[in-house]
Amino acid sequence: MLYATRLNSLKSRPELAFPAGPIHTEDLLRRATQIRGLNSLSLNFPEHFTPASLQATRQIIEASGLSVDSLNVRYPADTFGDGGLTHPDAAVRQAAIDLTCQALDACAELGGNHVIVWPGFDGFDYPFQDSYARMFAHTVEGFAQIAAHNPAMRVGLEYKPWEPRKYSLIGNMGEALMVVQEIGADNLGVVLDYCHAQMANEHAPKAAALALRHQKLFGVHLNDGYGRQDDGLMVGTTSLITTLELLVLLERGKYPGTIYFDTFPVREDPVRECEWNIRITERLLTLARELAADHSIGAGHDAFNVTRVIERLLFPEKVHG
């Protein structure tokens, strides 16, 4: 399994790694090399580099022994705060499409094959603010153009129910899959963020199963939280059993992608935090593989399936067949 981390998480606790002064992308990349078990990176575009720095960034990454899994598009608020793909002005919509296509080109140059698009400003705040039909139509039109830009690059639509807008246009797995299915491009799929699914009152394993059914689960962002906001806590720390069920679903569905740790350490040492995420995911994946092979688990509409899983997790020495 490839493990990637959120580069911006490495900005926390700067006194542990950086001298006083501004922190640059190169500093974050070097800090990432200290994380045991990390083998890939997911950078933000255009935040973490400019086109002029692409070659230098690739050289630093390759020298570190890491690879680029993906780029995450971040639309600047000063231009796209009222919407990117859904903006009422056609010129602004085209600018959002162009920026995303630039991310596809940059990702290919860095050796990656996946661009994750979170249309964070595409939504609304008030009733009667805009036409939902128009915004959805322009979202479909925009993603169709983006997917067609380079069919060899995977494009993952990352949904979130709200924040920064009061309501996001694409707020759950069903809405994301509707966009993907309407366009019908082989290289367009959905990215599941665990905390975003919690916020949407989704059961993350069920959401993953829907995407896996259509072979459209292109990415998984692992983290944890309480469901009220995008907490980005360490993996498995608040909903361990549901995290384990998600990993079982990924094993059974032969998920081919990367596990990306989209966590937000604030007071925690980010290197140690990411090492925990990798370590617990590895341990849970070992158990998930065993559970995935046991077809009586997750079948028969039996509530005691979960008690068997808990016993295996907590008391493996007492489990007999």
Examine residue 72 and state whether it is found in any structural domain, yes or no: yes
Examine residue 312 and state whether it is found in any structural domain, yes or no: no
Split into its structural domains, the chain has a count of 1
Q: Please report, for the domain that includes residue 250, its CATH number.
A: 3.20.20.150
Examine residue 74 and state whether it is found in any structural domain, yes or no: yes
Examine residue 317 and state whether it is found in any structural domain, yes or no: no
Alpha-carbon gap, residue 142 to 134, rounded angstroms = 12
Confidence (pTM): 0.96
The letter for the amino acid at 39 is: N
**Maximum C-alpha span of the chain:** 64
Span between the terminal Cα atoms of the chain, in Å = 27
| Domain encompassing residue 192 | 2-296
Examine residue 220 and state whether it is found in any structural domain, yes or no: yes
Alpha-carbon gap, residue 74 to 286, rounded angstroms = 34
Examine residue 301 and state whether it is found in any structural domain, yes or no: no
Examine residue 148 and state whether it is found in any structural domain, yes or no: yes
Alpha-carbon gap, residue 280 to 275, rounded angstroms = 9
Examine residue 313 and state whether it is found in any structural domain, yes or no: no
Residue-wise pLDDT tens for the chain (321 aa)?
899 999 999 999 999 999 888 888 889 999 999 999 999 999 999 998 766 688 888 888 888 889 998 999 999 999 999 999 999 999 999 999 999 999 999 999 999 999 999 999 999 999 999 999 999 999 999 999 999 999 999 999 999 999 999 999 999 999 999 999 999 999 999 999 999 999 999 999 999 999 999 999 999 999 999 999 999 999 999 999 999 999 999 999 999 889 999 999 999 999 999 999 999 999 999 999 999 999 999 999 999 999 999 999 999 877 755
